[in-house]
Amino acid sequence: MAVCSPQPTLVGRDDELDLLSRLLGEVMGGAGRSVWIEGEPGIGKSALLESFLAEAARRGCAVRSATAEEFGHRVPLHVMLECLGATPGSADPGLRDVAELLSCGAHGDPVTAAAERLLGHVDRLTADGPLVLAVDDLQWADEFSVPLLHRLSRLALRRPLLLVCVCRPAPRRPDLVTLRRGLTASDAEMLRLSALTPAAVATLAAGLAAALTVRPEKRPSISPALRETAEQAAGNPSYLRELLAALAREDRLRWDGDTVDVDSAEPPRTLADAVTDRLAFLSPGALELLRTAALLGRAFSVTCLEAVVGRSALELTAALEEATATGVLAESELLLAFRHPMVRQALYERPPAGLRLALHLQAARALADAGLAVEHVAEQLLAALRTSEHVPVGGWAVDWLLVAGRTLVGRAPRDAAELLGLAVAGLPADDPRRESLEAILATALVLLGRRDEAVRLAEKVAAATRDSVRAAEMSWTAAWAMTDDDRHEAALAVLGRALRAPGLSPAWSARLHAMLARAAIADGDLGRARAAARQALDEAARSGDRPAAAAAEHAAGLLLGHRGEPSEAAARFEHGLAVAELCDDPETQDLRLRLRQDRAYALLAQERHADADLAAGELLAAAERTAAPPRLACARILAADVHYHAGRWDDAVAQLDAAAASDDLIPAGDRRWLHGLAAVIAVHRDDQASAESHLGAVPAGETFAGTAYVPLARALLAERRDLTGEALAVLTGLLDRAGTVYHRHIWLPVLLRLALRDGDDALARAARVAAGEPAAAGTPAVSRTAVARHCAGLIESDAEALGAAVAAYRAMGRPLQLAQTLEDTAVVLAERGDLRAARTAHSEATELYTGLGARWDLLRADTRLRRHGVQRRRGPRRRAATGWEALTPAELTVARLVADGRPNPDIAASLFVSRRTVEVHVSHILSKLGVRSRVEIAREAAGRLELPSAV
């Protein structure tokens, strides 16, 4: 592929050009000004200046400009002489005299005299008309030109002179700092160039790619892969040009029609030298420090850097300030980060691979010796191990893992599993340290959802060890994995053997009994669960062990929740969490997350929606910081459940989609919860294909968590297909089942309505009785009352009872149940001939269903009421499948913020949702709009959306 050198192109600087053009207009009107343009190397300062000066010349303004040279400071007034054309061959006699004055060594102070004459020359030029005087790369200017520029800025206050100073933020010379301060004081315009927007980067990359490959398309476009590659330049045009030039040199740019693509995301091999050459402006000390910082990743703490280089923060201050001022580094919360990933990559790859390996190992040892965060040490060790397959994990690293391994599992389970696995593989079978590392590894495997591996390893260690504590721990770990995998009988057997083992401590007896209670609950043996939970509490109190006490409280809370006592369960979870928080160790981290999740669920079951919403948010925040993917997915499912009941279905779907990314790793019960809830929403929204897909992912069988959603979804889907008998059979199975009382308000009215429709009065009466039977006593009174009155109103065609249920559901904040009750009320009123009241109830139900996107419910309500002559005057349009009309309100809000250039973390913070939720919304937007990037979202949004959106 032929390659040519692209010419500098100004893209994405319209606002800056508009500002300079406005200042030019003021000068041409007689009002002088000064402007200071600042920005990191390569950000486009010179291209902006060149474009502006061309415009000034076109508009008939006199232009004088020059660029300071790095070694030009040796000649007094060098840059000003060049700017004004003061040379021995100048046509202007006065300028020739200035050049001669400086070259012949006149008596007195020739530099001062020359400066006075240059100032007078500029004064005369402005008397003839407006003048633009510009100096680029001012950081290299000689020491005599800078004071002259200061005097020229004062001249601009009374003459039609626009003085333009262009400078890097470093080196921070005292005379330039003084000049900048003086300009600021005289009301000069301060213009700092920031990184190009993603849209501008895409436009510039397309033009550069076309020029580099000698394909000057009229409107070239770039592929998503090349767009992602271009983002490595972090909005710096110069780095982007180097990146694409390197790709072109390696023949990695290819055309597909009028789109240019890249063959892979691998950084170009020839890029490192080009990029590091561009860093030559840095001092040797700053450059050396950056090479070390590159080992620590794109973002790093000064504390880690101190440890690795063996110097204090005070000693590093000058170099770090230089790197930050020049834009190589930027602040990222409490860390420093390389602004340009490709700069960090270039610095990182400069040393040979063997040297990088040694540097990583040295960095790991330094971080460990300094007692810094275990995940940082692990990152360095893994970086070394990934560099070469022949480097064993031995010596101090194994000893460090024995001490820090459990903490590492809690903070970075994936890294821990990889590092521990490599360490175990490298140790001989008779090494006494191997068993200890395997025990830690087993826990990491459970957290990561690799439960089969965890069971095999835990049972192997338990069988071989002579340590009773380790045997108990491994039995507990194996049972944990088995319970999460629905292997309840196997878990109960393992726990039974462990509890019969001699020498069992009270603390481990408590933890094993707590796990036994969990397994028994999941297995449906509530008597055994009750005895185990009681034993766990007793043993925990006797031992004084906090992790054991927290586990026992958790088991007791689960039992209470399963028995339909959410208030008491929430109290147990709250107490268990308080105890676990006192531990604050890696061993209880997953337990703390479980307690938070179950507490939020219990709050939801009590109709304490605001508290449940807050608890779910706290859970997600904690899980996103520390949890392994399976536990984070479970937290998302809980948050989705809270959103579902509050009527925020778009947010619920976003959380469920995010959780589904870890579908294969989630415990079996939680998978049923995920797919059941997703299927319920899909049926309500009349997306039968999606509902079938989710239900197909649920294996047959019963379990505790979330199963009410699965049969409900199956029943709703059957009803949608006019298979009333099948729907009734599914829901009747729930009627006789103990547990999951909390969900009765969802499906009992559905069962009763279908029974009446099918003429099964006996089943309808049974449903009504179930709504108020003692088994429902644990349900909050307002919910129990609403369900009972709803069912009574249905079976008796009692509009007053239904009206009481409407009021209750309205107070509870249950939009779906409120809409369904209003629908039933409208039908009863229509049957009584009160069509006006029926239309009112139907209208409100329609509004609620529309807000939820519940298309099937709308269709059902219309069908039921149409036979009574009640029709909507104007039905809501069915949401389109593609295009802007297909976007939900939540997606429209996110689209506005994306188009406004807001990154995902900022959007998440402004909307009070998780980053992953925003990512899912963006994914849906891309799919519905048929575009491939955030840039294209912004382009499509132009003229459609009001920007920015008020949040």
pLDDT per residue over 164-195, tens digit each?
Answer: 999 988 777 888 989 999 998 888 999 999 88
Q: Is the pLDDT of residue 265 over 80?
A: no
Q: Which two tokens stand for residue 846?
A: 């329609």
The pLDDT score that the predictor gives to residue 424 is 92
Angstrom distances, CA of residue 353 to CA of 145, 296, 385: 47, 16, 12
Decide which of 215, 243, 269 is a domain's last residue.
269
| Whether 802 and 920 share a structural domain | no
| Whether 155 and 204 share a structural domain | no
Task: Indicate left, alpha or beta for 45 from its phi (over 0: left) and psi (-120 to 50: alpha).
Answer: alpha
Q: Is the pLDDT of residue 737 over 80?
A: no
Q: Is the pLDDT of residue 547 over 90?
A: yes
Q: How does residue 102 score in pLDDT terms, banded at 50, 70 and 90?
A: confident
Are 62 and 125 within 8 A, CB to CB? yes
The pLDDT > 70 percentage for the chain reads 90
Give start and end residues of each alpha helix (H) in 563-685.
566-583, 589-605, 609-626, 629-646, 649-660, 668-684
Decide which of 331, 350, 369 is a domain's last residue.
350
What are the DSSP E strand ranges found in 95-199? 131-136, 161-167, 189-192
Which has the closest alpha carbon to 268: 287, 255, 250, 286? 250
The pLDDT score that the predictor gives to residue 570 is 94
Residues 6+ apart with CB under 8 A from 407: 374, 585, 586
Which has the closest alpha carbon to 818: 839, 796, 787, 794? 787
What CATH code is carried by the domain that includes residue 310? 1.10.10.10
Q: How does residue 742 score in pLDDT terms, banded at 50, 70 and 90?
A: low
What CATH code is carried by the domain that includes residue 787? 1.25.40
User: How far apart, in whole angstroms, are the C-alpha atoms of residue 517 and residue 523?
Assistant: 10
Angstrom distances, CA of residue 270 to CA of 147, 246, 277, 372: 43, 6, 12, 36
The string of DSSP codes covering 260-289 is EEES-SSPPTTHHHHHHHTTTTS-HHHHHH
- Between 253 and 900, whose confidence is greater? 253
Amino acid in the structure at residue 641 = D
Tens digit of each residue's pLDDT (9 = 90 or more) over 458-474: 999 999 999 999 999 99
Q: Is the pLDDT of residue 63 over 90?
A: yes
Please report whether residue 412 resides in a domain. Answer: no
Please report whether residue 168 resides in a domain. Answer: yes
Please report whether residue 249 resides in a domain. Answer: yes
The pLDDT score that the predictor gives to residue 765 is 87
Tens digit of each residue's pLDDT (9 = 90 or more) over 209-247: 888 876 655 567 788 888 888 888 888 898 888 888 888
Give start and end residues of each alpha helix (H) in 448-588.
451-464, 468-484, 488-500, 506-523, 526-543, 546-562, 566-583
Q: What is the pairing mode between strands 259-262 and 221-222?
A: parallel
Least confident segment among 137-151, 315-329, 333-347, 891-905: 891-905
| Whether 676 and 806 share a structural domain | yes
Please report whether residue 5 resides in a domain. Answer: no
Question: What's the rounded mean pLDDT across residues 483-492?
Answer: 93
Least confident segment among 14-18, 524-528, 586-590: 586-590
Q: Which two tokens stand for residue 550?
A: 């927290």
Question: What's the rounded mean pLDDT across residues 626-634?
Answer: 91
| Whether 526 and 603 share a structural domain | yes
Task: Indicate left, alpha or beta for 543 from its phi (over 0: left) and psi (-120 to 50: alpha).
Answer: alpha
**CA end-to-end span of the chain:** 49
Please report whether residue 253 resides in a domain. Answer: yes
- Between 501 and 342, whose confidence is greater? 501
Q: How does residue 334 score in pLDDT terms, banded at 50, 70 and 90?
A: confident
Question: DSSP 3-state assignment of 889?
Answer: helix
Q: How does residue 124 score in pLDDT terms, banded at 50, 70 and 90?
A: very high
Decide which of 192, 210, 236 is a domain's last residue.
192
| Whether 25 and 99 share a structural domain | yes
The pLDDT score that the predictor gives to residue 572 is 96
- Provide the b/e sequence for 730-743 (b: ≥16 CB within 10 Å): bbbebeeeebbbbb
What CATH code is carried by the domain that includes residue 434? 1.25.40.10
Cα of 600 vs its chain's centroid, Å: 23
| Whether 216 and 182 share a structural domain | no
The pLDDT score that the predictor gives to residue 219 is 61
What dihedral do alpha carbons 391, 395, 400, 403 form, nearest 10°? 130
Please report whether residue 951 resides in a domain. Answer: no
- Between 916 and 749, whose confidence is greater? 749
What dihedral do alpha carbons 588, 590, 593, 597 form, nearest 10°? -120
Q: Which two tokens stand for residue 159?
A: 């003459």
| Whether 602 and 683 share a structural domain | no
The string of DSSP codes covering 386-419 is HH-TT----THHHHHHHHHHHHHHHH-HHHHHHH
CA angle 786, 791, 793 (to 5 degrees): 95
DSSP lists the bridge partners of residue 330 as 337
Residues 6+ apart with CB under 8 A from 14: none
| Whether 520 and 612 share a structural domain | yes
Q: Is the pLDDT of residue 208 over 90?
A: no
**Strand order through the sheet with 299-300:** 299-300, 335-338, 329-332
Q: How does residue 739 score in pLDDT terms, banded at 50, 70 and 90?
A: very low
The pLDDT score that the predictor gives to residue 784 is 75
Q: Give the residue numbers spanning the domain of 280.
A: 273-350
Please report whether residue 622 resides in a domain. Answer: yes
Question: What's the rounded mean pLDDT across residues 62-67?
Answer: 94
Domain count of the chain? 6
Tens digit of each residue's pLDDT (9 = 90 or more) over 594-617: 999 999 999 998 888 899 999 999
The pLDDT score that the predictor gives to residue 732 is 86
Please report whether residue 671 resides in a domain. Answer: yes
**pLDDT, mean over the chain:** 86
The pLDDT score that the predictor gives to residue 87 is 87
The DSSP symbol for 165 reads E
| Whether 786 and 897 share a structural domain | no
The pLDDT score that the predictor gives to residue 173 is 84
The pLDDT > 90 percentage for the chain reads 52
Question: What's the rounded mean pLDDT across residues 519-545?
Answer: 94
| Whether 453 and 337 share a structural domain | no
- Between 657 and 902, whose confidence is greater? 657
| Whether 426 and 563 share a structural domain | yes
How many Cα atoms within 13 Å fall on the side-chain side of residue 818?
Answer: 21
Question: What's the rounded mean pLDDT across residues 418-437?
Answer: 92
Tens digit of each residue's pLDDT (9 = 90 or more) over 380-401: 999 888 776 666 777 899 999 9
What are the DSSP E strand ranges found in 4-70? 33-38, 62-67
The pLDDT score that the predictor gives to residue 951 is 34
User: How far apart, in whole angstroms, are the C-alpha atoms of residue 512 and residue 524?
Assistant: 18
Q: Is the pLDDT of residue 549 over 50?
A: yes
Q: What is the pairing mode between strands 131-136 and 62-67?
A: parallel
| Whether 203 and 187 share a structural domain | no
